[in-house]
Amino acid sequence: MFKFFSSSNVYSLIQKLINFINSIFFLILIIGLTFALHLSPPDYVQGDSVRIMYVHVPAAWLALACFSSITFLSILNFIFKIRNFYFINKSIAPIGLLFTCLAIITGSLWGQPTWGTWWVWDARLTSMFVLMLFYVFYILAFKLLRKEELIIKVSSIIAIIGSINIPIIKYSVEWWTTLHQPASIKIIGSSSIHPAMLLPLLVMLLVFLLYGALIFLMKYKTEIIRIKKKNLKRL
């Protein structure tokens, strides 16, 4: 049932997906930036500084999504021993770290005019910083260790332990008193964000998704090529 994930089956799809994303990415990026920087109204309290939200929020969402995906695939790899999940996770991790750092940096830029400080050790910010550390440890496992079996074990342990931090990040604003406001967008229940701001946010989320997918496909393609070259040398 997992034959679909073999290198021979997915390689032929990668370049087509890369070409498709390249063909629409810049158009959607222009649309997203137009909404975020021009058409979206300023906040009645924060003014134009609220526009940082259109980078900060999608970056934070995708940082959490990347680590959740890594954890899920690590568990599957433990159970089914699908070697390709190892290379998928290896390709996802730097992207997740990038989004995490971007979320932290833009959060600081947003926090200074809003809270009057660049950084505070509240629950949300601290848990995001911890997420960044887990990404760093996860990537270092690939860089420092040599044996593939050991890398899989160590990286999987890091991912599973790090996944405990995901719900902490999500519910930190509800469990503790923080400077962050509660979630404005809710899947279940009514959202408090105005549609004039929600639409640009969703478009920018699509931009980040496409960018992340493009980088992942390129890195994953490189991994597949490297594996094929390694296998040819053994023959």
Residue 192 falls within a domain, yes or no?
A: no
Q: Are 123 and 167 in contact (CB under 8 A)?
A: no
Q: Closest Cα to residue 66, out of 179, 198, 163, 176?
A: 163
pLDDT single digits (tens) 151-194: 999 999 999 999 999 999 998 888 887 777 777 776 665 667 88
The least confident of 1-10, 40-49, 106-115 is: 1-10
Residue 1 falls within a domain, yes or no?
A: no
CA distance 190 to 125: 25
Number of domains in the chain: 1
Residue 200 falls within a domain, yes or no?
A: no
Q: What is the pLDDT of residue 196?
A: 87
Residue 57 falls within a domain, yes or no?
A: yes
pLDDT single digits (tens) 90-145: 999 999 999 999 999 999 998 888 888 888 888 899 999 999 999 999 999 999 99
> Where does the pLDDT of residue 2 fall: very low under 50, low under 70, confident under 90, or very high at 90 and above?
very low
Q: Which of the given ranges, 115-119, 146-150, 225-229, has the highest pLDDT on average? A: 146-150
Q: Are 138 and 159 in contact (CB under 8 A)?
A: yes
Residue 76, pLDDT > 50, answer yes
The least confident of 1-10, 47-56, 147-156, 178-187 is: 1-10
Residue 9 falls within a domain, yes or no?
A: no
Residue 230, pLDDT > 80, answer no
CA distance 202 to 206: 6
Residue 137 falls within a domain, yes or no?
A: yes
Q: What is the pLDDT of residue 120?
A: 86
Q: Residue 54 sits in which domain range?
A: 21-38+50-180+211-230
CA distance 134 to 33: 31
Cβ contacts of 1 within 8 Å, gap of 6 or more: none
Q: What is the pLDDT of residue 193?
A: 82
Residue 93 falls within a domain, yes or no?
A: yes
Residue 128 falls within a domain, yes or no?
A: yes
